[in-house]
Amino acid sequence: MSESVLAPAQKRKLLFSAGLSWMFDAMDVGLLSFILADIAQKWQLGTGQMGMITAANSIGMAVGAALAGMLADRFGRKAVLVWTLLVFSIATGLSALATGYAVLLALRFVAGIGLGGELPVASTLVSESVPARERGRMVVLLESFWAAGWIVSALVGYFVIPSFGWQMAFVIGAIPALYALYLRRAIQDPPRYINRQADRLPLGERIASIWSGPNRKSTIMLWLLWFTVVFSYYGMFLWLPSVMVMKGFSLVKSFEYVLIMTLAQLPGYFTAAYLIEKLGRKFVLVVYLLLTAVSAIWFGTAQSAGVLLAAGICLSFFNLGAWGGMYAYTPELYPTAIRSTGVGMAASFGRIGGVIGPFLVGMLLAQGTGLTAVFVIFFVAIIIGAVAVLVLGKETKGQELMEEV
């Protein structure tokens, strides 16, 4: 099938519309890290309990990614994108009413279902809607809205939580429910998907196709990549404000430093967006992952405020650039009929790492393990992901998306 032809204004509208949903997703995830740092003091939570809250969120994201990916191949990208947005924003707003630990756990699981489902569907929709020559750049730019969401969450953490409490942060997290009403009219399913509706496969055949023939090698590589990236990202970044407090900084100062580190995500995305069409997907992923691994060791061993800040900036820059490359790369490895299912299942497996990472950090810190040892674990995981791409990955730069299963 020929490339989808969109006018420049239509491309910008698509990027902005899908990007705002992505930003709200990131804002919700980011808010949780700042809320935890506050709620742990007010509810007297231990590190293990804090880890369970982030784990509940990530378990929901794993379920949501798999479900939304399968549903989007059956019912369309647009419908599933809108519904996932509604699920996580409503559950986040209700979290402001949580009266205890168990209620908050349940609500964060439900919110996670929407959060995990929105991301793979949005990346698939954008990937299918633009020409091959700019597809990678567009998806990485879509991912850059994640940084904007984290910046918003950091601003809320710095200005709102200390003055108005964690409940107000959850109320702000309910705003995307209103945006979902706009999104229903602003975007459409890609012509590439609409034109192949007659080729829709039953769920069992879609799952079998992901693991058969030429797709098997790509699936193994993607599952390793997603697991190691999500494991390290959520293990490190959801604990970042709390780690800063452990290193001796006040809650407000910790939020301030994390805000500065978060700003470094934007140039990480933009450089990845440029290089991914110049040097290829594999180059961006391998190089940015290796530099993320180095930054993780540097951050884990940092002592002074200046070194800690510099290491955190590098960690944000390279880690989020790698995320952008991963989201651009994943939809390109599957044909249209199983694309969203393949992306969703890879993301879902990755979210298992997002469950284990934060929980493992909480468990290790509760046992008295040093921060350096914790960050060595993330260093090793990221190296495994880089090697998987290097050895098993194939370059897709400039290639048309596959159509036939």
CATH of the domain at 316: 1.20.1250.20
Neighbour tally for 379: CB within 10 Å: 17
pLDDT above 50: residue 92: yes
pTM of the model: 0.83
pLDDT value, residue 105: 94
**Structural domain contains residue 33:** yes
pLDDT value, residue 196: 67
pLDDT value, residue 318: 95
pLDDT value, residue 336: 85
**Structural domain contains residue 245:** yes
Contacts of 79 (CB under 8 A, 6+ apart): none
pLDDT value, residue 279: 93
pLDDT above 60: residue 4: no
Q: Which of 93, 90, 98 is nearest to 45 (CA)?
A: 98
Contacts of 51 (CB under 8 A, 6+ apart): 358, 359, 360, 361, 362, 363
**Structural domain contains residue 102:** yes
pLDDT confidence bin for 53, thresholds 50/70/90: confident
* Range in 63-72, 174-183, 196-205, 212-221 the model is least confident about: 196-205
Mean of pLDDT values over 171-197: 83
Name the average pLDDT for the chain: 87
Structure tokens at 385: 């992901």
pLDDT confidence bin for 198, thresholds 50/70/90: low
pLDDT above 80: residue 7: no
pLDDT confidence bin for 1, thresholds 50/70/90: very low
pLDDT above 60: residue 3: no
d(Cα 380, Cα 103) in Å, to the nearest integer? 35
pLDDT above 70: residue 69: yes
Which amino acid makes up residue 291?
L
Q: Which residue do the tokens 């914790």 mark?
A: 374
pLDDT value, residue 54: 79
pLDDT above 90: residue 381: yes
d(Cα 216, Cα 238) in Å, to the nearest integer? 32
**Structural domain contains residue 336:** yes
pLDDT above 60: residue 113: yes
pLDDT above 70: residue 344: yes
**Structural domain contains residue 58:** yes
pLDDT above 70: residue 360: yes
Structure tokens at 260: 């500065």
Mean of pLDDT values over 127-142: 88
pLDDT above 60: residue 207: yes
Read off φ and ψ for residue 381, nearest 5 degrees: -60, -45
Q: Which of 85-94, 123-132, 154-163, 237-246 is the most confident on average?
A: 85-94
**Structural domain contains residue 194:** no
pLDDT in tens, 248-278: 766 667 777 777 887 888 899 889 999 999 9
pLDDT value, residue 213: 82
Q: Which of 322, 299, 301 is nearest to 309 (CA)?
A: 299
d(Cα 323, Cα 320) in Å, to the nearest integer? 5
Mean of pLDDT values over 48-61: 84
pLDDT value, residue 403: 72
Q: Which of 4-18, 162-176, 225-239, 301-315 is the most confident on average?
A: 162-176
pLDDT value, residue 364: 87
**Structural domain contains residue 1:** no
**Structural domain contains residue 187:** no
In order of 38, 112, 159, 253, the CA distances from 163 in angstroms are 11, 27, 7, 14
pLDDT value, residue 282: 96
Q: How many structural domains comprise the chain?
A: 1
Q: Which of 17, 35, 31, 23 is nearest to 266 (CA)?
A: 23
pLDDT above 50: residue 162: yes
Domain hosting 272: range is: 8-182+203-392
pLDDT confidence bin for 405, thresholds 50/70/90: low
